[in-house]
Amino acid sequence: MKVVVFKFVAAPPERVFAALVDRAVLQRCIPGADSFVEIGPDAYEATVQIGVAPIVGSYRSKVVIQDRQPPQSLTIGFEGRGAPGFVGGEGGIGLAAEGDATRVAIVADLQVSGLFAIVGQRLIEMAAQKLADDFFNQLATELQSA
């Protein structure tokens, strides 16, 4: 399943890119992140509490940052396992300057099982949009205070 998300962040691409690869910033911005531990270069394990529609639970997750092309793009590989099921995949993130802001385009290919597979693509897209909104709102706050 493919999910596409577009966001704007009021900062130049260089600052947005730097924030997207900073472990401490990611931990503060990922909705429900209880822990975010580096396990290798650009690889992290996280425990995340998510409560979106029927997709509620605690997930043990792995995140890997790949294909860095600062400040234009990067790829994030991810997987999360919890009682409601499994979600994993890869997301390409593109950054482009638009005036004083950065347009962020995310195209993610997802694989799902368990409750995620039952609730359907529309609900998963809504949950992904909600999580992206929360993440980028917090990222904007981080960049304004830096």
Task: Please check the confidence at residue 73 and state whether its pLDDT lies above 90.
Answer: yes
Angle in degrees, 0-180, between the axes of helices 121-145 and 13-20, rounded to the nearest 10: 110
| Per-residue H/E/C for the chain | CEEEEEEEECCCHHHHHHHHCCHHHHHHHCCCEEEEEEEECCEEEEEEEEEECCEEEEEEEEEEEEEEECCCEEEEEEEEEECCEEEEEEEEEEEEEECCEEEEEEEEEEEEEEHHHHHCHHHHHHHHHHHHHHHHHHHHHHHHHC
| Band of pLDDT at residue 86, cut at 50, 70 and 90 | confident
Across the chain, mean pLDDT equals 90
Quote the pTM value.
0.90
The reported pLDDT for the residue numbered 42 is: 95
In CATH terms, the fold of domain 2-145 is Alpha-D-Glucose-1,6-Bisphosphate; Chain A, domain 4 (3.30.530)
Domain residue ranges in the chain: 2-145
The reported pLDDT for the residue numbered 114 is: 83
Q: Per residue in 103-146, pLDDT tens? A: 999 999 988 888 777 777 777 788 888 888 999 999 999 998 87
Instruction: Give the β-pairing of 33-40 and 43-52.
Output: antiparallel
Q: Which residue has the higher pLDDT, 120 or 26?
A: 26
